[in-house]
A = this chain, B = another copy of it.
Amino acid sequence: MKKIINGSDKVVEEMLQGMVKAHPEFIKRVENSNVLIRKDSPVKGKVALISGGGSGHEPSHGGFVGLGMLDGAVAGEVFTSPTPEEVYKGIKAVNGGKGVLLIIKNYTGDVMNFEMAAEMAEMEGIKVEKVVVNDDVAMEDSTYTVGRRGIAGTVLVHKITGAAAERGLDLLEVKRVAEKAIENTRSMGMSLTPCVVPAAGKPSFEIGEDEMEIGLGIHGEPGTHKEKIKTANKITTILLDKIIKDMKLKNKEVAVLVNGLGGTPLMELYIVNREVHRILEDQGIKVYKTIVGNYMTSLEMAGISISLLELDEELKGFLDDRAYTPAFRQI
């Protein structure tokens, strides 16, 4: 395991300290917690947004705390959802009186821990609502399963929902917008390499020199299957086909997120983005906005995910709104 760390038990704590040192103009830390919140929290008269989950997805979620996106991000251990207590501390710290919306990625652990935190906060009279992001089309969305995972599309949900909250909409309206964004977002990922959870010290899965893993989540779990490694264009086609089949996009407008999983150079993301645009154009789908970079990572994993967000006039407005956070800035 080659990592620039001081010890596997210290990574989250030291990372959070390093983040605050890097971005003091954006974020501060809630005392005795792994919660990062907006410098100006609690913001009065604004619905507050909290997201979070296991660490190892940086810049998610702390990097999106700031104007026009999140009010708080709760960090668990690497790939482990934070405890209810931590989430509860976050809720209390950001609540500006208009209620708090929890943006949860659909993982059993995240859902349960955030739910328990919401129950705790509600007992104190804080209005809390929840939405669960489940953008990953790699798996069937059946009632017999836990449903789809939340992956990189979550960042688009943060952006849209953050804009709605920043405009001053009330809790249920913000929740409605979040649900619409979730409903309109689909993603799928692949990887060339596993990642190594620091405390585990071993690659999260085995993979051959000529293989790639398709349809995998963001916690180093193996994907739905392995394939022989293919060209960037073929990979893009595999992912995008599955996404597009799950939506009705003909003559629609979309936002595109080409996301790196941590170890993939920007060069490769741009090469993928080129083919994404070619395919969408080919199918009569118009790209309204493109985002390319490492937004939802799995430690040092080499791989990508592609997300599409179907837009209407309302969502376009929110997408265009200002955002100013450590990892997402737009004027």
Contacts and interface: CB of A to CB of B under 8 A. Distances in A.
A267 B2 contact: no
A235 B21 contact: no
A268 B209 contact: no
A248 B227 CA distance: 55
Interface string A257-299: 0100011111111111110010000000001001110100101
Nearest to A322: B331
A55 B297 CA distance: 24
B300 A263 contact: yes
Contacts of A192: 2-4
Contacts of A209: 2
Interface string A1-20: 01111110001001111110
Contacts of A273: 18-19, 21-22
Per assembly, the copies of the chain total 2
Contacts of A263: 262-263, 265, 300, 302
B266 A297 contact: yes
Contacts of A262: 263, 265-266
B21 A267 contact: no
Main secondary structure on A side of the interface with B? mixed
A203 to B, nearest CB: 13
Contacts of A233: 6
A88 B151 CA distance: 44
Contacts of A55: 267
A300 B265 contact: yes
Contact of A299 (B58, B265, B299): B265
A288 to B, nearest CB: 11
Nearest to A262: B265
A193 interface: yes
A108 B70 CA distance: 47
A266 B324 CA distance: 19
Interface of A: 2-7, 11, 14-19, 21-23, 55-56, 58-59, 63, 192-193, 209, 212, 229, 231-233, 235, 258, 262-274, 277, 287, 290-292, 294, 297, 299-300, 302, 304, 324, 329-331
